[in-house]
Structure 1
Amino acid sequence: MTIQEGLGAGLKFNAAASNPEYGLGSNEQPVQEAFARYLHAGDVFYDVGANVGFFTVIGAKLVGSGGQVHAFEPVPENAAAVRHNCELNGMKQVTVWETAVSDRSGMGQLQLAQYSGGASLSVAAPPPDYKETVSVDLITLDEFLEEKKAAPPSLVKIDVEGAEINVLKGMVNLIEKHKPIIIFEIDDGEVAAFQKKKTICTDFLQNMGYTIELLPDSYPHAGWIVENYVALPA
């Protein structure tokens, strides 16, 4: 199908078994608006927890052929979907890495969910629709930057279902040297757990010199708290 509206309007996209709003283009409008503000032609974008690639292709459209996108997605079916959606649009500026991003390299345990975007590392609580646990490769963004000689990101999006602080701890050198803008999601079904995750991540980033902005709600909270933030370097 062709995305109907939003930043992805006109792009070809196969949402597979994921969120049908991807095809409409209406998914997470406040996050899309943040992308429009902070991601520009020629930039480098890291999509950590790419799912099936909705924000990957939007990021690739914004940075253009002169930019770069690195999409990190450990679920094989999702990573294949990201590649497919990029191929549908001829986006050669995108590289898909079938690995999870964390605070250490090696192997980790990924808790899969019935919903394709709900997988989480075992450092987080199991998803409510838990399906099974599989072993996946882990890498830190600091190691990725050094080992792959990759260009540093202008913008990093983190959507990793509870393992956000692990991603942040694994990119301390990147943050100190390159100061990317960071868009991250915090979610949980319990208020106390949500507040704890939010405080840990926002305190960490504020201690590294960032200011934190809460984005407007992307959708109603139907028994599950979801908030997206933009962290801006000083």
Structure 2
Amino acid sequence: MIEVGGQMGAHTVGLARAAGDRGYVHAFEPQPEMFQALAANIALNGLLNTRTWNLAVDRQPGVLHVPQLDYSMNNNFGGNGRGVRSNPFRLFCLMNTVR
């Protein structure tokens, strides 16, 4: 399974458990802080059938601007203009090279 926008792993954990021993989950999350929470959640739940990627996903190569969230501000989802750059991962590559 492929999850794009894994956030902190709320759905990833359920997907990994549903996949069981015979399945595999690839969870993508470009936000650095959210990715850390995702990776921690996967580790804390002992999910060996899950791979986390600190990358954005797009259908074409290039560079994306991923807004950097300011968690100290109420209701602000990147409106401050700061951000990080992410080289988007092409799902075609994943589907043709990784189990």
Q: Please give the range of the TM-score, normalised by the shorter of the 2 chains.
A: 0.7 to 0.9
Separation (CA, whole Å) in 2 of partners of 1:62 and 1:113: 31
CA spacing shift, 1:105–1:144, aligned 2, 3 Å: farther
Partner SS state of residue 134, structure 1: strand
Separation (CA, whole Å) in 1 of partners of 2:43 and 2:4: 19
Counterpart check, 1:62 vs 2:14: no
Counterpart check, 1:142 vs 2:92: yes
Give the one of 87, 95, 103 matched to 2:51. 95
Please report how far the alpha carbon of residue 73 of structure 1 lies from its aligned counterpart in structure 2 after TM superposition. Answer: 0.6
Deviations 1:118-156 (Å, cap 9, x if unpaired)?
A: xxxxxxxxx76513222112112112223xx123xxxxx
Give the one of 79, 82, 86 matched to 1:130. 79
Partner SS state of residue 30, structure 2: coil
State the TM-score, normalizing by the size of structure 2. 0.82
The runs of at least 4 aligned residues of structure 1 exceeding 3 Å deviation read none
Aligned to 1:221: none
Separation (CA, whole Å) in 2 of partners of 1:76 and 1:129: 13
* Aligned length, in residue pairs: 94
Separation (CA, whole Å) in 2 of partners of 1:140 and 1:133: 21
Instruction: Give the aligned CA root-mean-square deviation in angstroms.
Output: 1.8
Separation (CA, whole Å) in 1 of partners of 2:21 and 2:91: 23
Deviations 1:9-34 (Å, cap 9, x if unpaired)?
A: xxxxxxxxxxxxxxxxxxxxxxxxxx
How do 1:73-92 and structure 2 match up within 5 A?
73-92=29-48
Flag structure 1 segments of 5+ consecutive residues without an equivalent: 1-44, 116-126, 152-234
Identity of aligned residues (%): 30
Flag structure 2 segments of 5+ consecutive residues without an equivalent: none
State the TM-score, normalizing by the size of structure 1. 0.37
Aligned to 2:70: 114
Query: Which of structures 1 and 2 has the larger relative contact order (alpha carbons within 8 angstroms, sep 6+)?
Result: 2
